[in-house]
Every structure is written in C-alpha cells, then in structure tokens.
Amino acid sequence: MNFDWLSTWNSIRLSGFLAYFLFTFSIAAGLMSRLFLFQKQKQLMLELHKLSGWAGMLTVVFHATLLSLDSYVPYQIWEIWIPFLAGNAPVLSALGTISFYLFLLVLATSDFFIKTLGRSLWKRIHFLVIPAWMLMTLHGILIGTDSAHPWAAFVYGGGIFLVIIILAFRYFESHLESTNRRKRKLLKKGAVQKGQIL
C-alpha cells in the first residue's frame, strides 16, 4: 500500500480540518443540548459535546506538533506556543495559538474546576468557546493552502452556517421563554388583584 499522501504537510492540513470539524461539532452539540427540540437527547448531546471537544484538543496538539517536524516551513517550539513569535505568518499563526489556549481553558475548567469556580463564573468562561471558534475559523481560512478549493469553502461555510443557525434558535427560544414568563407573571398579578388567586 502506498502511504506517500500521508506526508507531514498533508497530515498538518488533514489534522487542521479534523480539529476544525471536531471543535465545530462540539460547539454545535453543546448549544443544541439546551434547545427545547433536543431535550430528550440532552444527555447524548452533552456526552458528544465533551468527547468531541477533547478529541479536537488532541488533534490540535498533533497538528501543532507536526509543524515542528515539517521540513518545508519548520516551526520552533516557541513559535508554535508563544503567540506572534512565528517567522511564518506571525499574526495568522497566533490566531491558531490563542484559539488553542482559549479552548484549553474552557475544556479544563469544564471538567476539573466547575465546583470551585461556581456556576456563574464557569458559564462566563465557557462562552469563550465562541471567540475561540471564530479565531480558529479565521486561522484556517486565512493561513490554509486549501482555502481556495470549493470543498474547503463548503467545510468552512457549513460550519459557520451551522453555528449561526443554532445560535439564532437559542436566541429565539430564550426570547420566547422570557416573553411567556412575563405574560404568566402579569396574568397571575391580574388574577391576584381580582382576588382569584391567593
């Protein structure tokens, strides 16, 4: 069997796309787990959310490690892990590095520190996945060799469309919920004033 296609460079590209897919899937599953439509599958969604997040993290570590082994555009360790120090595309490389740290922070706080941090701070940290996802999307589109291919546009476009549509659903659902809550409160208040409810 011929494994020539599995060169370091091809593996960097492949792992970049795999990480993009896994992180996008993880965010989509996490957002969907709160939607009314998926309440019966909530536990499954949360498991998929966690699993794909950690799988994405492992894939990025692989993606970044391969960069230091590549002979065409070799990266030194500090160029990978310290933002803006890369000789090749310093800003675009930094977008990948910063996004990696944000994802790491979110994943680490989810699994190990949720009780210590308290729910409100945890939630604020958790929503850093959105800027992390935006940075990784920009990184992939702007630095990647494959971005000009129609299939790459399909992958990026599909991911962006999916996340935006789920965020829009979340927004409408929470808007509807707070309107209904307000209506119920007003109805109850009116009934109490009429002496129908004590």
Task: List residues binding ligand HEM (CB under 6 A).
Answer: 12-13, 16-17, 19-20, 23, 60, 63-64, 67, 80, 86, 93, 96-97, 99-100, 103, 136, 139-140, 143-147
Between 32 and 129, CB nearer to ligand HEM? 129
- What is the C-alpha to C-alpha distance for residues 185 and 191, in angstroms, rounded to an integer? 10
End-to-end CA distance of the chain: 79
Helix%, strand%, coil% for the chain, nearest 5: 80, 0, 20
Q: Compute the least distance from the CB of residue 61 to ligand HEM, in Å.
A: 9
Q: Name the residue nearer to ligand HEM (CB basis): 35 or 130.
A: 130
Residue number, 27 or 80, with CB nearest to ligand HEM: 80
Per-position b or e across 117-138, b if 16+ CB within 10 A of its CB: beeeebeebbeebeebbebbbb
Residue nearest to ligand HEM (CB): 144
Residue 14: CB minimum distance to ligand HEM, A = 8
For the bound state, the minimum distance from the C-beta of residue 150 to ligand HEM, rounded and expressed in Å, comes to 13
Give the C-alpha separation, 192 to 183, whole Å. 14
Report the nearest approach of ligand HEM to the CB of residue 181 (Å). Answer: 38
**Cα separation, 26 vs 28, whole angstroms:** 5
Measured from the CB atom, the residue of 118 and 157 that comes closer to ligand HEM is 157
**Residue whose CB is less far from ligand HEM, 146 or 173:** 146
Other CB atoms closer than 10 Å to residue 108's CB: what's the count?
12
Distance, in Å, from the CA atom of 167 to the CA atom of 173, rounded to the nearest integer, reads 10
Shortest gap between Cβ of 144 and ligand HEM (angstroms)?
Answer: 2
